[in-house]
Chains A and B, each alone.
Chain A
Amino acid sequence: MDLLRSLVDNIDLNRLADQFVYHPKSPLIFNTGFFLLLFLGFLAIYQLLRNQHRARLLYVTAFSLFFYYKSSGWYFLLLVFSTIVEYNFALWIADSRSPGRRKLLMALSLLVNLGMLFYFKYTNFFLSGYQALTGQPVPVLHVLLPVGISFYTFQTLSYTLDVYREQIKPLRNIWDFAFFVSFFPQLVAGPIVRASDFIPQIPRPPHVSRSDMGRAVLLIAAGLFKKAVISDYISLNYVERIFDNPTLYSGIENLLGVYGYALQIYCDFSGYSDIAIGIALLLGYRLPPNFLSPYQSTSITEFWRRWHISLSSWLRDYLYIPLGGNRKGVVRQYINLFLTMLLGGLWHGASLTFVAWGALHGAALAVDKLFQQVVKPGNGPLVKFLGWVITFHFVCFCWIFFRAGTFEVATQVIHQITHALRPDLLPQVLGAFRPVFALMALGYALHALPDNWTLRLEGVLARRSVVLQAALIVVVIWLVIQVKSAEIQPFIYFQF
């Protein structure tokens, strides 16, 4: 009791209150101690409200808005605006008989959604493009990008589009809709949840089964490990340095930097998605999987079925198929694939390097289609192995543009790899950055595990007591703390 009192006495109320205010430099992310405590408090009340449907939904929505406020400040009003507008558009579309009117309403909804996305994300990109083309100076606007806007505009768009295509019925209660749009686990970094997947879950009382719990624990533990141990460590201690200044390093260091980045971005993104899916599961909601060991793919087509699935399937259903998909002949199909990926690239960020990344993937998808149709390489082990080698390296090559930020840096990385490889330095480099490469090897080894192992592990965890489940999470959090406060790898030269 004394212990508790001294703890309470020690709490700095100002600092505690400060935690609840928006700080641009420290958004609320899952892998922080503060989120863990906040989530504990949140769950206590959530558990109490579990049989009060309406109150529970309102409570989660309010928490989600606070969560978004912590990440983006006053921009949370944008989320409120988006919710009100799309809710009404969907209703108007559903209630209108005339096809022309429906079309007009749909177009308006697209205009609002894409207009918002465009304004916040692409204004300066196109202004500077205009400047480059015409030579006329244009002012640069100081538009701050609201966190997660690309995710939730796509999510609300899919809802209105599905209503327009009469694939789902619109929600008749704005609080239900607000719950769907703002649901905090996936709000800022995906997965992009389809209305048709999520809305049926809203009226049901949330139920967390034993296997759900096992799955959630594994997702959260593995997600934390991927995001806060592997990704954060190799990025700070190795990958960022290479891409900050590729010419300081030999080709072999650059090459390892590219492999490192491939693992880093996968672990970062899929890890965060996994935590989001796990947290949603703890609340009793099922979100679709977002990544399925993408680097196991043996073709680029397969890669896009395993990488950021919620985005690629969104692009397929709402961009590629409306463009005509494969229904308008082979040439059009290739063009559609290419265009879809080009825009998909731009979705990732307002920069020509993202466009180039999308274009490379689009072209590769088209080439792969053609190759499969013309050559019909079959499915033998050698074909699979070669396919894997080529796919993995092509994906890595594209990551260079994705990460580099400018074509200049991308060219430098490629130049170092092709012109100054110095493979003789490999043992030295590996030796000097031992923890980095040990983690990288571990990351890739875990990635190579067959999917059914994961399922089996989920089953094993599901049968264990909650104490053991908590212990697993604690072990991972403890590892995260060790990595977070570890001294950074010193700077070393090899190239003399």
Chain B
Amino acid sequence: MTSERPQNPFLLVLLTVGLLGLLSFLPASLTIGSMELRPVRLLADVLRKPTPRRGLRLPPPNGPAAPGAPKATAAADPTQPTDTAAALPAAPTEPNLPGLENFVAALRQTKATGRQTRIAYFGDSMIEGDMITGELRNLLQRAFGGSGVGFVPVNSITADFRETILQSFSDTWYEYNLNSDKIPAASPLGVSGHVFLPRELPAAGSDVVPDTSWVQFKAGPAYATTRRLPLARLFYGPGSAQDQVIVSTNGHRVPHSLPGSATVNELVLKPGSPARVMRFDFANHGPRPVYGVSFEGEGGVVLDNFSFRGNSGMSLTKIPPAQLAAFGRHLNYNLVVLQYGVNIADAKNKSYDWYARAMTRVVDRMHRAFPGASILIVGMSDKSSRIDGEFQTDPSVPRLLKAQRQLAERNKAAFWNLYDAMGGENSMVRWVEDTPPLANKDYTHVNYRGGRKVANLLYNYLMAEYNHPGAATTEPVASAATPKADSAERPAPRPALRPDSANR
């Protein structure tokens, strides 16, 4: 073997590099069928960069630099192409909008008299399992008093991992929700976007062993204020007068009848000492809608988490207005938060006017159903796509933020720009790459650690509004006073004050 002429590995590598060099002369946007081929750029790391790209790696550790600054750089460089995928989307920072007066007034009352302030927090998978809302509730309850996790629907896909309440239930429930095609008029959806029907008891005289529907709640260990189940309010619709619910509190079983025949009724249960575990067994003789149980203290802050996976917010109109209003009369909301966006963020959408229109109906219904409540639109979080091999803010994000802000502006709602609070352009990339990471590798969802950070950012914003109403939205900030080209149609730019610099 060794007598054989030795091979020349240098030649092998030289040929490899040479062939790759030839491939790099192929036109940049070649396609085979429907697949777009990516160009070969062997020397990409050492060649001059064709355009001075805005700093992907500039590290504003705690949030964006002055809003408008990136815009200025882009404007200073007229050579930068704007229509190719390579050009980073300009990130027009949508300033926050005021509108939390009712909520702030309620919080002041709570601080002075202890009266309850109640928040409905609607969202998609970003708040699933009490992510973001768990920490926000904890911060508010520590500052203003209050206890309990608020409204919990009977069944939930998050039951297995929600840390603020541990929930188990029989598989005998029948459920309609925002995704159901046909929802019977007799069982309208409740405020959470669900309605649950317990299995009916067998007819009298039948010897079938009753297989009742039940749900059990156990206080979760995550936060001190939610480690017990204080007062419980069971919400249900009309049904047979003989129906009963057997409530087991710490093992004591007490049957209760279900009074009321309105579309929404409630049964208030106040255990002698705060419970850790509560179970509800339903013995009903006919169909009876059941919605959920709210665990709350007498006063302070209550925050209801209404997460619905995959939702864009638009389907909330499936909850009948009368039903929403009926819940409003029971629950007296002071603030309604709507956090959506990731499920419709798609670079193919050039404009989100249709979304603003569809959501206007939702906001309008919320205003009517909860007349005493402020409404806060949370602008979507940053979300990345891979463009030219690099993870960058998806081009749809600024478009969607613009629509969300318009939605708020036209409907007298407050607007908080979460994207900006996270750090603005490409912050998702930094959150994913942070050690420890704050977001998942889908470059869309924050993780629990990131969720806590978002909660703190939001809390700081709310507290800035509480301490100086309008401060976080209207006070001009010197560094950001430059008006921006795309905001010309707006009366006056209202730059965002970063929540983490707001006093608290």
CB pair B48–A481 under 8 Å, yes or no, is no
Given that A244-B442, A245-B440 are known contacts, is A43 also in contact with B38, CB under 8 Å in the complex? no
| Pick from A11, A37, A44: contact of B42, CB under 8 Å | A37
CB pair A470–B15 under 8 Å, yes or no, is yes
Min CB distance, B377 to chain A, in Å?
22
Interface residues of B in 25-60 (CB under 8 A from A): 37-38, 40-49
A40 vs B19: C-alpha distance when bound (angstroms): 13
| Pick from A39, A43, A207, A248: contact of B128, CB under 8 Å | A248
The answer to whether the Cβ of B206 comes within 8 Å of any Cβ in the partner chain is no
Residues of chain A within 8 A (CB-CB) of B61 are none
Interface bits A409-420 vs B (CB < 8 Å: 1, else 0): 000100110011
The answer to whether the Cβ of B112 comes within 8 Å of any Cβ in the partner chain is no
Which residue of chain B has the shortest Cβ distance to A208 in the bound complex?
B7
Interface residues of B in 325-349 (CB under 8 A from A): 342, 346
CB pair B48–A12 under 8 Å, yes or no, is yes
Given that A283-B9, A467-B15 are known contacts, is A10 also in contact with B48, CB under 8 Å in the complex? yes
Interface residues of A in 228-275 (CB under 8 A from B): 236, 240-241, 244-245, 247-248
Binds B, one of A82-90, A103-111, A301-309, A483-491: A483-491
Interface residues of A in 462-484 (CB under 8 A from B): 466-467, 469-471, 473-474, 477-478, 481-482, 484
A248 vs B47: C-alpha distance when bound (angstroms): 42
The answer to whether the Cβ of B17 comes within 8 Å of any Cβ in the partner chain is yes
The answer to whether the Cβ of A493 comes within 8 Å of any Cβ in the partner chain is yes
Residues of chain A within 8 A (CB-CB) of B393 are none
CB pair A33–B9 under 8 Å, yes or no, is no
| Pick from A44, A247, A473: contact of B10, CB under 8 Å | A44
CB pair A36–B45 under 8 Å, yes or no, is no
The answer to whether the Cβ of B445 comes within 8 Å of any Cβ in the partner chain is yes
The answer to whether the Cβ of B6 comes within 8 Å of any Cβ in the partner chain is yes
Given that A10-B47, A12-B48 are known contacts, is A466 also in contact with B8, CB under 8 Å in the complex? yes
- A: number of interface residues (CB 8 Å): 61
Residues of chain A within 8 A (CB-CB) of B37 are 482
Interface residues of A in 399-452 (CB under 8 A from B): 412, 415-416, 419-420
CB pair B43–A11 under 8 Å, yes or no, is yes
The answer to whether the Cβ of A167 comes within 8 Å of any Cβ in the partner chain is no
The answer to whether the Cβ of A131 comes within 8 Å of any Cβ in the partner chain is no
- B: number of interface residues (CB 8 Å): 55
CB pair A486–B386 under 8 Å, yes or no, is yes
Which residue of chain A has the shortest Cβ distance to B15 in the bound complex?
A470
Among A33, A207, A420, the most chain B Cβ lie within 10 Å of the Cβ of A33
CB pair B388–A247 under 8 Å, yes or no, is no
| Pick from B9, B14, B385, B444: contact of A213, CB under 8 Å | B9
Interface bits A1-42 vs B (CB < 8 Å: 1, else 0): 000000100111001100100000000000001101101100
Given that A247-B129, A470-B15 are known contacts, is A496 also in contact with B443, CB under 8 Å in the complex? no
| Pick from B47, B346, B387, B441: contact of A240, CB under 8 Å | B441
Residues of chain B within 8 A (CB-CB) of A286 are none
A248 vs B1: C-alpha distance when bound (angstroms): 58
The answer to whether the Cβ of B13 comes within 8 Å of any Cβ in the partner chain is yes
A171 vs B4: C-alpha distance when bound (angstroms): 30
Residues of chain B within 8 A (CB-CB) of A39 are 13
The answer to whether the Cβ of A313 comes within 8 Å of any Cβ in the partner chain is no
CB pair A33–B42 under 8 Å, yes or no, is yes
Residues of chain B within 8 A (CB-CB) of A33 are 41-45
Given that A15-B46, A43-B10, A209-B2 are known contacts, is A415 also in contact with B160, CB under 8 Å in the complex? yes
Residues of chain B within 8 A (CB-CB) of A217 are 12
A10 vs B48: C-alpha distance when bound (angstroms): 6
Residues of chain B within 8 A (CB-CB) of A136 are none
The answer to whether the Cβ of A210 comes within 8 Å of any Cβ in the partner chain is yes
Residues of chain A within 8 A (CB-CB) of B1 are 209, 211
